[in-house]
Structure 1
Amino acid sequence: MSPTFPAAARRFWNQLPFFVWLVVLWMMLWGQFTVLAAVTGVAVAIGVTKVFHLPTAELSGRVNLWYGLVFVVLFLAELVRGAVMVAWQALRPGETTSGIIAVQLRTDADLIMTHVSVASSLIPGSLIVEADRERRILYLHVLGIRHAADAEAQRRNVLVWEERIVRAVGSRADVAALKQARKEAAR
């Protein structure tokens, strides 16, 4: 956008996707996609954005539709796999194992960290228990952890989700950070 564009208008355009998401979320919560639900959703979204002054989330302005589609398909498959794993743990005789693991993310974007947290928590069998924003560490409670190798496999799995999300919606700097982290890990 040009430097003469007013700051308030720039902020509005940056926040518009979140505002629209709040309206859609409101309509989904009520289970109604009607004009009344949309109007009340707009009112609630205005109230939420005025009462809770959240910092502006920086969008990358980059969306890769192919990687977005890959993410959605793999995420749906992981939902099914996770549900089967949780059901098996609930039905099988014996002790259900779990553990808490820490995952050091490779990118520094708050929005990517949030997406990784949400994706990890939505997959059955894992739940984010804490996020250390400054150090970029996610702490997850995970079912099925019996050995250190299981914990390491789950750690790698979260990093794979981070990479998929960055490839779908991350900035060029985020993609470069992932490439750099992979190079350093290969040494």
Structure 2
Amino acid sequence: MIARIVSGLVPFLGLVLIWVLIWGQVTWLALVTGVALALIVSATFYLPAVRLSGRINLWFGLLFVLRLLGDIVVASLQIAWIALAPGYRPSNAVIAVPLRTRSDLVMTFTAEAVSLVPGSIVLDIDRETSTLYLHALNVKSVDEIPELKRKVLDTERRLIRAAGSADDLARLSSGRTAAAEEGAP
């Protein structure tokens, strides 16, 4: 019963947070109207329950955030160089990256983290096969694709170590993807 309440509370609080962020200030009026709108949206529309792993490792969470900030700075400098370099010829790629997690939350956070780093954006997430499809900037050859996939999987690994489930941690240590574990091609 408590787990059910908590799993419904996550999207509810997310809606309130989004409302407060839209207004750009934390006031009693913004909080009260955010709660009222979250109640209306929750009663009107189906919000899927978010399954939490029940574990958070603060050390790995801090490492995730620090690495994400570093990746954003480095990628921003690379994109600035591409924009300023004379004679740039666009060479992009769309790649599929099979993830190891089955958690919607970890998949979403991985997609958000990858999209925050300049130079790539997630186009789609296939929940059935736990696959991210992303567009990557400045891919000159097919030989660069494994490195791009490794970077996405490193981001997912850091998230799983910070807040992933026991199943995700087991898949992480075995090196298997979620789809391969379930027998999908």
Letter in 2 for 1:180: S
- Matched with 2:35 is 42
- Counting only pairs closer than 5 Å after superposition, residues 14-25 of structure 1 correspond to structure 2 as 14-25=7-18
User: Take 1:33 and 1:113, find their aligned partners in 2: how far apart are those partners?
Assistant: 29
Matching residue of 1:69: 62
Pick aligned residue for 2:52 from 56, 59, 63? 59
Distance in 1 between the 2:41 and 2:78 partners?
38
Aligned counterpart for 2:146 among listed residues 152, 162, 165 = 152
Q: With the length of structure 1 as denominator, give the TM-score of the two structures.
A: 0.88
Q: Which residue of 1 aligns with 2:95?
A: 101
8 Å contact kept, 2:11–2:47: no
Secondary structure, aligned partner of 1:61: coil
Tell me, yes or no, if the aligned pair for 1:67 and 1:164 is still in contact at 8 Å: yes
CA–CA separation in structure 1 for the residues paired with 2:78 and 2:44: 41
Aligned residues: 175
CA shift, 1:166, in A, is 0.2
> TM-score, normalising length from structure 2?
0.89
CA contact (8 A) 2:110 2:159 kept: yes
> What 5-or-longer segments of structure 2 have no aligned partner?
177-185
Match of 1:172 in 2: 166
Partner amino acid, structure 1, of 2:19: W
Measure how far apart 1:147 and its partner are: 1.1
Whole-angstrom CA distance in 2 between matches of 1:46 and 1:132: 29
Which residue is 2:183 aligned to? none
CA RMSD of aligned residues (A): 1.4
Query: Percent of aligned pairs with the same residue?
Result: 45
